[in-house]
Amino acid sequence: MLVYFLCALLSPSDLSQYEGYKEYFFSRRKWFFGAMAVMFVADLYDTYLKGLEHFHALGLTYQLRTGLILLLSLLAIKVRNERFHAAFAVFALLSEIFYYLRLFFTVA
């Protein structure tokens, strides 16, 4: 549900009130990154409910990735700098790709 909400925030039905998509994004960034932070907190809670053993089985990569993206999401609420947001988008995308490749393409 939270991922759908994030997608809905990034997909406006009408941009006529804004000069462009960039202005729309920055006007909604507090909602977007707030929801993103909530999504990662919910993920941590869900992982906690599955037990400490499950949490540790996900490894340090999970903890670092989740912590960094949560921290950067909270920072992105305040920061309007385009370079910061571009770097954050690249970092988030690469960290997700790396995490899932590591998680699903390992030989156990």
Higher per-residue confidence, 99 vs 47: 47
Give the max Cα distance, the chain: 53
Binned at pLDDT 50, 70 and 90, residue 74 comes out as very high
Distance (Å, whole) CA 66 – CA 68: 6
Structure confidence at residue 58 (pLDDT): 87
pTM: 0.85
The domain spans of the chain are 2-104
CA 21 to chain centre: 19
Average pLDDT of the segment spanning 49-78 = 93
Q: Where are the alpha helices (DSSP H) in 11-81?
A: 21-49, 52-57, 59-78
Structure confidence at residue 46 (pLDDT): 95
